[in-house]
Chains A and B, each alone.
Chain A
Amino acid sequence: MKITLEEVRRIAGLAHIQSSDAGDEELELMRGQLDQVLAFVDKLNALDTRGVEPAIGVAEGMTGPLREDVPGATLAEEEALSNAPESGRGHFKVPRVIT
C-alpha cells in the first residue's frame, strides 16, 4: 500500500478539500484510486535520471520577452467585484476568519 487513509486525510486538509460530510467510504475510494495511480507512477524509478536536470521553465531556447514596465488599463472596482458571492464597500466579504 502506497498511501494510508490517514495520509489521504492530511492531503485533503492541505488542499482544503474536506468537510465533515466526507465519510470514510468516500475517503477509502479516493485512497484506493490514489494508491493505484501512485503504484503506476512508481515505474519512473526504473528510469535512469542521474545527471539529468529537471525541465524547469518553457522549452529550450524559448525566452519570454518582458514587457515595458508601464501601467495599463485595469478592471474597474465594480467589474472586479461583479462575480463575487458576497461583497460590500469595495471589498470581497468572507465569513469570520478568527475563531
Chain B
Amino acid sequence: MTDLARLGAGPLRDLFARGEASAVEIVRAHLDHLGRVEPRVEAFLSVMADAAQTRAVWLDRSRSSGEPAGALAGVPVAIKDVLCVRGAPTTCGSRILEGFRPPFDATCVKSLVDAGAVILGKTNMDEFAMGSSTEHSAFKRTRNPWDLERVPGGSSGGSAAAVAAREVPLAVGTDTGGSIRQPAAFTATVGLKPTYGRVSRYGLVAFASSLDQAGPIARTVRDAAMGLSAMAGHDPRDMTSSVEPVADYIGAAEGRGREIAGLRVGVPREFFGRGLDPEVAAGVRRCHDALAARGAEIVEVSLPATDFAIAAYYLVATAEASSNLARYDGVRYGFRDPHASTLKEMYGRTRQAGFGPEVKRRIMLGTYALSAGYYDAYYLKAMRARTLIRSDFARAFEKVDVLVGPTTPTPAFRLGEKLDDPLAMYLSDIYTVTANLSGVPAMSIPCGFTKAGLPIGCQILGRYFDEPTIFSVAAALESDLNVMKQAPPLAVDD
C-alpha cells in the first residue's frame, strides 16, 4: 500500500473520490505518522484523533451512498490555534484562554469542513500570534523538522512544521506581519498570505485587525491553491471581507493561468541590502534566472519606504493589539485569577498572570503609542508611513506584474537565539510586513537549501486580488527548481 501520509492534498482527495482509499485509512495513516514524529516536532497543541476518526467514518459512509465528494474530501488538515473550531480547545497559545471552547466555527474553518476536509488538530503558535519563532507559546516549543535545534519560524510555526513533517498535507495559518510566509520559508513549505479581505476573519481571534489574514500552508503550489479556493470568498460576518469574485487558483497552479513569457517581474532593490544572507540571496537569484529563462522580463524596482516598515508595523500592530486584547479580562471566558477581591484587582491580576512577556510588551507599547501626548508622534506617524508603503506598491505595480524577492533575511535561526532580544526578533520580519501594511497578497515558496541543509524561501508579491498570477509564477518555479519533493530526514526515516 502507498504510504498515504506522504501524499499531498490533491492526490489524497482523488484517491478518496475514486474509492481507492477510504477516509478512515487516510486519517489512520496520518495519525500513525503523527504519533511517531510529533514527540520530536511538537507541532500540535491538541490532536483531535477521536473527532477525526468519527468524521472519517461519516465521510466514507457518505461516499458509499453516492454523495459527491467535496473539493477537499478526505483530506486531513491542521488549524492554527488562533482560529475557532466549535467545541474544541482554542488557546491562541495563551494561558489566558486555557479551557476556552468556542461555541462557533471560524468561517474559513467551516469552509474547509464543508469541502470535506478532516480536522486533525490545532497547531502551536506564538501567544496571540505575536512572535517569529513559536517560542512565545505558553505551552510548548515547536521544532523545525529540518533541524530540531532550530525554530520553525512563527507565529504559524506549528502549522508549517506539521506540514513539513508530513503530519498533514495542508494547514491553515494566519499572517499579520509574515506569520505564514516566514515559517513557510523556514520549513520548505508553500505559504500564502492572501489579499486583505480575501479570506474571512470571522472566528480568527484578532491580533491586529487591519493586518490579520488567514491562508494556506502546503507542500505543493497546487495544494495551497486548493486550500485558498476552499477558504476564499465573501462573508457577511466580516465587514472587511471582499465581494471580489473568487478566481481560478487551481487552474493557475496547474499552469493554465498567465504565461511567464512576457511577464514583468520586479526585483525590489531594498530587499537585497545589508543583512541579507548570501545563500538566501543566491537562492532567490536562481528564481529570477528561472523566470528569465522562460521569457519573463526582470526589472529592478524600488520600494523606498521599506526601511521604515518595521518601525511603522510595530506601532500599528501593537496599537491595534492593545485595543483587541482588552477583551481578556477574566469575565466571559478563559482564565480568571481567583484571588482578587475587587473587579479592578481581578482585571490586573488576571492579565498579569494570564499573558506572557511578549504579549505584555506589545500591549504596553501599543498603549503607550495611543496614549495622550504620544498619539501623533507614534501612531499617526506610523499610519502616514503606511500610506507611503501602499504608494510604493502602487507605483511598482504600474511597472511590473509581480515582485520576487527573499521571504526572510536568513534561514531558520537556533532555538533561544533571539528570545531575549525582542528587537532582533522583530527585524526578522523586514521583508514580510510591507504586504500586511499595504494589503497585497504574498506567497513564500521553497527555492533551495543552504549548504547546512536549511530551507530558503522565495517571496512572490502580487497586485490586490491577483493571487492567480502569484500561483502561475509559483507553479513555474516549482517545476523548474525541483526542490519541493525533498522531505526532512525525520519524516522519511520514522
Where the two chains meet, the residues of A that have a C-beta atom closer than 8 Å to any C-beta of B are 3, 7-8, 11-12, 14-19, 21-22, 30, 33-34, 36-38, 40-47, 49, 52-56, 58-62, 64-67, 75, 79-80, 82-86, 92, 94-97, 99
Contacts and interface: CB of A to CB of B under 8 A. Distances in A.
Contacts of A7: 368
A47 B380 CA distance: 13
A50 to B, nearest CB: 9
B278 interface: no
B382 to A, nearest CB: 7
B438 A59 contact: yes
Contact of A12 (B234, B305, B364): B364
Interface string B294-318: 0000000000010110111011000
Interface stretch (B59-67, B110-118, B157-165, B324-332): B324-332
Nearest to B384: A49
A33 B382 CA distance: 20
Scoring B330, B334, B365 by chain A CB atoms within 10 A of each residue's CB, the highest score goes to B365
Given A17-B355, A37-B365, A64 B239 contact: yes
A17 B314 contact: no
A86 B336 contact: yes
Contacts of A49: 381, 384-385, 387-388
Contacts of A38: 365, 368
B368 A3 contact: yes
A60 B463 CA distance: 12
B46 interface: no
B233 to A, nearest CB: 13
Interface string B329-343: 111111110001111
Contact of B330 (A55, A82, A85): A85
Contacts of A22: 352
B101 interface: yes
A59 B348 contact: no
A87 to B, nearest CB: 9
Contact of A15 (B234, B349, B367): B367
Given A17-B360, A17-B363, A95-B341, 10 more contacts: A17-B348, A17-B351, A17-B364, A34-B365, A44-B311, A44-B382, A53-B387, A59-B439, A85-B334, A95-B345
B378 A16 contact: no
B101 A83 contact: yes
Tell me the dominant secondary structure on chain A's binding face: loop
Contacts of B345: 19, 95
Smallest CB-CB A-B distances: 8 pairs: A54-B383, A59-B439, A83-B333, A85-B336, A49-B384, A55-B386, A41-B311, A64-B239
16 contacts: A16-B348, A40-B423, A47-B308, A49-B384, A49-B385, A58-B210, A58-B240, A59-B197, A62-B464, A79-B103, A82-B101, A84-B333, A86-B336, A95-B345, A96-B343, A99-B342
A75 B336 CA distance: 23
B243 interface: yes
Contact of B439 (A33, A52, A58, A82): A58
B342 to A, nearest CB: 5
Interface string B455-481: 000000000100000000000000000
A15 B363 contact: yes
A80 B239 CA distance: 22
A7 B374 CA distance: 12
A52 B305 CA distance: 13
B426 interface: yes
A46 B308 CA distance: 9
B146 interface: no
B346 interface: yes
A11 B99 CA distance: 29
B426 to A, nearest CB: 7
Nearest to A80: B103
Scoring A16, A44, A53, A75 by chain B CB atoms within 10 A of each residue's CB, the highest score goes to A16
Contacts of B426: 37, 40
A95 B360 contact: no
Contacts of A82: 101, 103
B239 A36 contact: no
A92 B331 contact: yes
Nearest to B351: A17
A44 B322 contact: no
Given A17-B363, A62-B242, A41 B352 contact: no
Interface string B361-400: 1011101100100000010111111111010001000000
B368 A11 contact: yes
Contacts of A55: 383-384, 386-387, 390, 437
Contacts of B439: 58-59, 62
